[in-house]
Structure 1
């Protein structure tokens, strides 16, 4: 029975950088996906309100949770938008 020697350990660039592989999604695609998720939360909250007022759902707590979830996600999206606009304005003020 022969023992095989261990070869040199080869590290690819993704492992060398902390094991994080490069994401294929661009910033614009990530932003669009986030906006879609906020929209979905808003639509779910609207549906929960409609169901509660129509009598299809009796649970006020779940309706309030859906409303607050939509509200918080919208506020977060607005803060991200404000930061992006602030960064854009600062970059546009830079002298070349």
Structure 2
């Protein structure tokens, strides 16, 4: 059995020595969660609007590069699917918390 390939992967598994320290308890850790969610939703919405505009231009024959249109459509589809998965996970976590007995 050849283990040289496996040994080559070991260097990538190490944790870098210069990790930032974790935030102190009670200290603000950056942006509030609601602001992060709002910015994420706005970003997904902008991608969807841009892809809809690209589709309209494609239907009218005004686009020059079909490849770029298809790439932007796929990016917006993937970002929308990611947003839906995050929503599902948040909703599932909320339901788990609500089912907890005190």
TM over 0.5: yes
- Larger Rg belongs to: 1
- Tell me what 1:22 maps to: 29
Asked whether the 8 Å contact 1:49–1:63 carries over to 2, the reply is: yes
User: Which residue is equivalent to 1:58?
Assistant: 64
1:47-67 deviation digits (Å, cap 9, x = unpaired):
111111222212111111111
- The TM-score with structure 2 as length reference comes to 0.71
Deviations 1:30-56 (A, max 9, x none): 001101100001011011111112222
Paired residue secondary structure (1:56): coil
Task: Give yes or no for contact 1:45–1:66 (8 Å, CA) kept in 2.
Answer: yes
1:39 to 26, 45, 51: 45
1:22 positional shift: 2.8
How does the TM-score come out when normalised to structure 1? 0.75
- In the aligned structure 1, how far is the partner of 2:50 from the partner of 2:43? 11
Q: Note the residue ranges of structure 1 that are not aligned, 5 or more in a row.
A: 1-16
Contact 1:48 1:63 in 2 (8 A): yes
How far the C-alpha of 1:19 sits from its partner, in A, is 7.0
Do structure 1's residue 90 and structure 2's residue 96 form an aligned pair? yes
Question: Tell me, which stretches of 5 or more residues in structure 2 are unaligned?
Answer: 1-19
- After superposition, the CA RMSD in angstroms is 1.7
